[in-house]
Structure formats: C-alpha cells, structure tokens
Amino acid sequence: MSKTIKKIGVLTSGGDSPGMNAAIRSVVRTCAFHNIGCVGIYRGYQGMIEGDFKEMGPRSVNNIVNKGGTILKSARSMDFKTPEGRKKAHENLVKAGVDALVVIGGDGSFTGALLFNSEYGFPVMGIPGTIDNDIFGTSHTLGYDTALNTVVEVIDKIRDTASSHNRLFLIEVMGRDAGHIALNAGIGAGAEEILIPEEDLGLDRLLDSLRKSKAAGKSSSIVVIAEGDKIGKTVFELKDYVESNFPEYDVRVSVLGHMQRGGAPSCFDRVLASRLGVKAVESLLEGKSNYMVGLLADKVELTPLELAIKGHSEIDLDLLRVSDIMSI
C-alpha cells in the first residue's frame, strides 16, 4: 500500500452483539497508541453515506467496555447497495481524511466492505460481530459467548418451574442458519433434546427421545430448538404435535428472542474484542487489507474477507454425541 494511513474509520453494521463497544474502544485506543486519528462512523454504511462522523480519542470510549449494544448504532443501508450510495460514502471518507476502515459486523457487512474496496481500493479490515457464531475463520464471534451464558441462565430458571409443574418446555433460541447457540447452551443447561439446522433429526427422533425420558422417570423435560431448525414446523406447531402424541404432557413454549443479543458482554467477549481491535488496526498499518481478524486455536489470525463470507462455520458434530450421552 503506497498511501500512509493517518486516520482510520470504525463502524458497526448489521445486528448488534455484546462486545461491539469493547471492539470500538480497542480500535480507538490502538489508533491513539500509534498516534493516528480515529473517526467513529454512526449508523453503519448509512452514516458513511450521510457523513455522520465523529472524531474519537481515548476518552471518547471511557466506560463502554462493559456495555452491550453499540454506541455507534447500527442500521441497514439500501443506499449502500447502489453505486451512487457507495460513491457518496467514498467522497465523505476522503473529505474527512479517513484512509482505512474497520468494519465490525457479519457476512453482509463484510460483503459491503469487499465491494467498496474493489471499487475504490479503500483498505478495509473486518471484525466478526454476531451472536450466531456463523462466520468462517474464527472459533468465536463477538457476542457468542455472552449469548451462550444468557441462554443458559434463562434455561436454568425455566427448568426450576418445569420441574415444579412436571412440564415440557420447548425453548427457541437464535440461530437461523447455525445451531451453535442451541447445541452448546443445550448441553450446558442439560437439555433432553437439541434441534439444530445442521442436523435434520426429525419428529420421530424427538418423540422417541421424549418417550425414553418418560420411561427413565423424568417428570420434566427441556427441548432447545434453534430458530432455523429443519424439522419443518414452527415451535408452536411443534408444541401442538407433541401434545397430540403426549396428551399427559403440559407443554409450554419460550421464545427467547432479542434478550440473547443484549446485556453486558462476558469477560471472554471483552478480551476477545480487545485483541481483535488491536490486530485489525495494526494489520491496516502494516499495509494489509481485505481480511477479517478472528480467533483460531486461541491465536488472533487473519482470514481473507472473501473466505470469511463464502466459507461455512462447521458445527462440532462430536457435541451432538455428547448431548445424546448426557440426556440418558
């Protein structure tokens, strides 16, 4: 890269996740450490098009490492999908003296960054922020660990009432395309059955599992379901199906929804965000671009953005076996 980077812009895009603020803090303070400027871009790519920028220094990010959400806000931007929108965004960055971008988000955010780079040769670096943990090139995305802990805590509380009333609870968690949250939280919370998009376990298997639980003397059961599970029914249709086969069960449904995306980030997510932010800035200063920083074998590594977007985050199938053994 021929141009010396003197100022880096940082934005959060797509869905928010715990740890995004810690990552913003890391980017801002790493810039300050290396004596370069940092600009916070509000509302993602839409804010880039509208020039919604703010100069940020070390004190701008005081007391945010423990906050959920994102102080820079996030918004979907249809305008950025147009050449005219990206042209306006580039003009605003040049006008503000911004030489490179750190994009904190998921697949869609990285796709936008890659396209922007291809059109304008603008250096970009991605930090994976999504609770679903469905990005290739990192074992953990920002917010995933926090979401897991939130889900386990809620399931623990639901189990208390399930046990008291001999109830079967169907608990739906986030994970439209990936079952990481359902599988790991299900094992951690001792679920009797776990339904995930990666494995079409089918209705017969679920009913068989419930029969075995009942025969084993279990008076209550927890079934954790990823929202993208391929069983072919909504969680409420599934409730009706189970009740028609097990009229003796009092079946209840809990859809955990957006509570999984909120709350203070875990220590793990705060440390991860700090590490990824430092690596993102320093990689840009080294002349690198079009990479995502991620955690692989507990080391911060670079993965080409194109691979991060097109690659598939694999579920640990051995965990399914662990789940089966634990539910006996």
Amino acid at 180: H
Name the helix (H) or strand (E) containing 295: strand 291-296
Instruction: Give the Cα separation of 216 and 203 in Å (integer).
Output: 20
Exactly one of 16, 99, 107, 132 is catalytic; name it. Answer: 132
CB-CB contact of 150 with 260 (8 Å): yes
Residue given tokens 């009706």 in the structure block: 240
Give 18's Cβ-side CA count (13 Å radius).
Answer: 27
Q: How many CB atoms lie within 10 A of CB 275?
A: 17
Q: Is 107 a catalytic residue?
A: no
**Lateral strand order in the sheet of 291-296:** 53-55, 37-41, 7-12, 100-105, 124-128, 291-296, 299-304
Phi/psi of residue 113, nearest 5 degrees: -65, -40
Q: How many CB atoms lie within 10 A of CB 59?
A: 9
Given CA atoms 170, 175, 179, 180 in this order, what sign does their dihedral have? negative
Q: Tell me which residues are annotated as active site.
A: 132
